[in-house]
Structures are given as C-alpha cells and as structure tokens.
Amino acid sequence: MNPVMQAHDIRVHYPVGGGLFGRKGLVKAVDGVSFTLRTGETLAVVGESGCGKSTLARIATLMEAPTSGELTIDGKPTAHPNSWRSLRLNVQMVFQNPYGSLNPRKTVGGILEEPLAINHRGDARTREAAARAMMDKVGLRHDQYGRYPHMFSGGQRQRIAIARALMLNPRVVVADEPVSALDVSIQAQVLNLMMDLQDEFDLAYLFISHDLSVVRHIAHEVMVMYCGRPVEHGPKESIFSAPQHPYTRMLLAATPSVDPRHRKSAVTIKGELPSPLNPPPGCAFASRCPYATSRCTAERPELRPFVGHTVACHNLETIA
C-alpha cells in the first residue's frame, strides 16, 4: 500500500511567559513524532489527555506548522504554507463534537455543498446531486436534505460531519475523538460506517482516541503517546496481545471490562502526567513506572525495535 502521509521527527513547541511576573518557558506539546500512513489503513494515536494527540491532528491537517520536522502528503513536502491550499484538499477532518462542528444556520444540503462551492467544484445542480449522493453513502435520507443540525441526533450529526469531510474526495481523514461524544449504542454504528467508507473510497485514517476499545475495533496500527512523545508503535494485534512498554501495559490493564477476573487484576496508573512546560530530563514516565532505574531518570530512551514493535524503554529485556 502506498504512503499518503509521512511525518519525520515532528516537534511542536510553544513559547510561553516572559511577561512582567512570568518566566519564559517552552511547552513541548509534540516532541519528536514519526509515522507513515498508508492508503486504506488506520493509524490510531492513543494516550492520556495532554499527551499531544490533538496537536498532532492540527499539524496533520495543516492548521498550523510544526516547529521542526517534516510532513509530506502524497510525497509532497508541506514546509511552505504557499502549498497548503492544494494539499489541504487531500486531508479533511472529523471533529470530536458533532454538536459544535456543524453550522446551525445551514441546512444539511448547504453544509455538504459548502466545500464544493468554496473550491469552485461544479454548478449548483451538480453540487446538490453530489450532496444527495453522499447522504446515501452515510445513511441519511433525501428528505433530510433541507433540515438543520438541531433536528438530528448526535449520531446523525456525526454522519453529516463525516459526509462533509468526504465531499472533496480526500486521501486522508483525520478523526479527532469522533465517537467520544456519542452514546455507546451509537458508537459502533459510526465506527462501522467509517470502516465501510474506508473500504469504498480507499481512505487512510489518522484516528485520535483515548478509548482503547474503540481503537481495537478500527485500527490497523497503534501509536501510544506519552508527554508529547511516542513510547510504543506497532500493529494493532501485537500491541493488544503483547504490549511491551509499561505505560501501554497499564493503559490496557486499566481498560474497563465485564470480566470480574480482569477487574480484580486491573492496574491503576498512579501519579500525574508531567508538565510539557518542564518535562523531566530522562524518561517522562519514570516517576510512575514500577520498573524505573537511575538510568531512566537521567537518560531519555529512544524508540528501538523490539518484538515486532518500536518501543522507547531502557528495561525491555528485564521486564519482557
């Protein structure tokens, strides 16, 4: 499968402070992320709130430029903002909140036709036909074409948002927690819809989530992030069946389960995520890790191949 998006050592640092009573600092929201996203596949990015997932989504959709590193879309570099307008057509986004991401003043038809109108695609009749065809694809009825977003349920609104993202025939869809605001009974329907559309249009998904049960359903590869950096990256099946990094193991052990044996053995991740304004010098997870050594607090581990994954941990051989 062909790579449609590649990131190499992406870093996003924000200067803060420096006012009358503040000291200058640097928030390292993303601090060295690399990945390859291929046609027809889903890369899930998981981790706690504040780990840099949504910042990475903004970089991938060209909403902002990275501080350093390289992002390519269809092999084309994105270093120069002058090229963003054409490249953005290949990358669209589905936002977390379907209640806030749709214009309440526009009908469904107007929402779906807007990307085509902005980019001068076809006349009014052609745009309407394309919008109605996309409504069929996402399971919306034609008599809903003239209705407003407040007349729909959360699941239906997210179907509208997905349809809008596909109107320009993108190569990549970045989905930032696309089902977290939905009822559990609706989540599976939306995920199955996204998987069907992926097969039909040969889409690549960059899927941002903190819910491992959702990731297990839709992902092909999983990248686990902690404090702005990836700590483990590999195929979904092996990540879930044989996690290597202590943080990944704790995330999976903390996932709710109906099995009482799993609940009794569940692990609680103690402590707080380090501040990206002042990250520790060594491994960011060392203060919460039961396997941490003096090397962990002094030297930052880099990603390295281990048992079919790439993992950032000094002690893999002893804890495996």
pLDDT by residue (tens digit) across 94-125?
A: 998 888 889 999 999 999 999 999 999 999 99
Residue 194 binned pLDDT confidence (cut-offs 50, 70, 90): very high
Closest CA to 65 of 88, 49, 95: 88
Q: What pLDDT is stored for residue 306 in this prediction?
A: 94
CATH architecture designation of domain 3-87+201-319: 3-Layer(aba) Sandwich (3.40)
State residue 97's pLDDT score.
87
Instruction: Let me know how long the chain is.
Output: 320
- Whose tokens are 């998981």? That residue is 46
In contact, 231 and 249? CB cutoff 8 Å: no
294 by Cβ neighbours in 10 Å (0-12 / 13-18 / 19+) ranks as: exposed
- Show the tokens assigned to 156: 């239906």
Q: Dihedral sign, CA of 113, 176, 98, 160?
A: positive
Higher pLDDT, 24 or 68: 68
CB 88 within 8 A of CB 63: no
Domain coordinates in residue numbering, the chain: 3-87+201-319
Q: Is the pLDDT of residue 267 over 60?
A: no
